[in-house]
Amino acid sequence: MEKLADRLDAVNRAVGSAVRWLALLMVLLQFAVVLLRYVYGVSFVFLTEGVLYMHGALFMLGAGYTLLVDGHVRVDIFYSKLEARGKARIDALGAALLLLPSMILLLWFSFPSVRNSWAVLEGPISVGGIPASFLLKSLIPAFCVLLIVQGAACFLRDLVRLNTKDAAV
């Protein structure tokens, strides 16, 4: 199970390595938008939407990587005081009962909207914007799939921890 979890981790590790560059590109593009607007007095909607598209892609595609590196926010005063087996139990239950079902439902219910958007190659959000709203909407199922993959990897690792006799796992 550990090897399968490692392979699943590799998916989000690769995606995370790729999308992290969007943060830099987003800052540079936003700087260019501000420079053009306040120094030269010109504005382009497609550049502003470009920042929006990169922001959406960074966070939607980076969510699985964030789960991989345990970078998500935890609001649990008891979790930090638990030993490894207790943490694995809570994480496994959270993945099995909350994360995976919610991502499957979101994937299921978003698919018709994304499919329809692709069918008509849905255009820009605003007049003069990027004519590819269908790409932005496609981030929703990608987000779900990446979190399902990472959630499965985390669940498998938690099962290994729970089935290990050593309490210090």
Domain limits at 78? 2-163
pLDDT of residue 21 exceeding 60, the answer is yes
pTM of the model: 0.90
Is residue 169 included in any domain, yes or no? no
Q: Determine, yes or no, domain membership for 168.
A: no
Assign 166 a pLDDT band (cuts: 50, 70, 90). low
Q: Does a structural domain hold residue 91?
A: yes
Residue 144 lies in a domain: yes
Q: What total number of domains does the chain contain?
A: 1
d(Cα 72, Cα 154) in Å, to the nearest integer? 13
pLDDT at 167 over 70: no
Does residue 13 sit within a domain? yes
**Residue 107 counted as domain residue:** yes
pLDDT for residue 36 is more than 80: yes
Distance CA 104, CA 141 (A): 9
Of the CA atoms within 13 Å of residue 156, those in its CB half-sphere come to 16
* pLDDT tens, position by position, 90-146: 999 999 999 999 999 999 999 999 999 999 999 998 999 999 999 999 999 999 999
CA–CA dist 156, 106 (Å, integer): 22
